[in-house]
Amino acid sequence: MSFGVSVPDFWLGIMLVLVFAGTLMWLPPSGYVPFADNPLGNLRYMTLPVLTLAVGEAAYILRTTRGAVSAVLDRPFVTFLRAKGLSDRRILYGHVLRNAGPSIVTVIGIQVGVLLGGAIIIETLFALPGVGRLVVTGINQRNYPTVQVGVLAIATIFIVISLLTDLIVGWLDPRVSDGARE
């Protein structure tokens, strides 16, 4: 888990290319094939970029989940539920994850913003078409309207994800939405 949190995406991407494309020759180092044209080819080209982005994000989410679940397991109501005879599985899935959910969902929402920023680098590294690569190309060509539209699109996506995150947290923990009215 510490590996995923501490390794930068661009370095991990380069190392994955060296191992899986350079040494083992299992996957292509860069490029893109549309999913509609060749689903298997798209999977081959997208494996390294997705893996590169997923390692760091999964490490943060797993660390937060472990901490949140651990904090909830120490609360008195869990002891009461065990004394009542509920199985550990039912306590975990029915009660503990429900109480730990808001902090986990919040971290996932924040990580989407990190993911959008990392996608800019990964799209450039793996020669993938996307908004991030469009922004980088616009910067290199000094095409400021393109850069502005790309940044606006990324910011809009992040704002929508943040709004959805807040709505989900309010649904999981009604105390959050009730506290706003006071």
* Dist CA 108 CA 105 (whole Å): 5
**15: its two tokens:** 């190392």
Q: Which CATH architecture has domain 2-179?
A: Orthogonal Bundle (1.10)
* Dist CA 49 CA 17 (whole Å): 9
Confidence at 49, pLDDT banded by 50, 70, 90 = very high
Specify whether the CB–CB gap between 144 and 133 falls below 8 A.
no
Confidence at 43, pLDDT banded by 50, 70, 90 = very high
% the chain with pLDDT above 70: 97
Q: Residues 135-180: pLDDT tens digits?
A: 999 999 999 999 999 999 999 999 999 999 999 999 988 777 665 5
Specify whether the CB–CB gap between 171 and 98 falls below 8 A.
no
Instruction: Please determine, for residue 96, whether its predicted confidence score (pLDDT) is greater than 60.
Output: yes
CB-count burial class (<10 Å; 0-12, 13-18, 19+) for 76: exposed
Q: What is the pLDDT of residue 151?
A: 93
**150: its two tokens:** 């790309």
Q: Which of 59, 63, 53, 57 is nearest to 12 (CA)?
A: 53
Confidence at 113, pLDDT banded by 50, 70, 90 = confident
DSSP state of 67: H
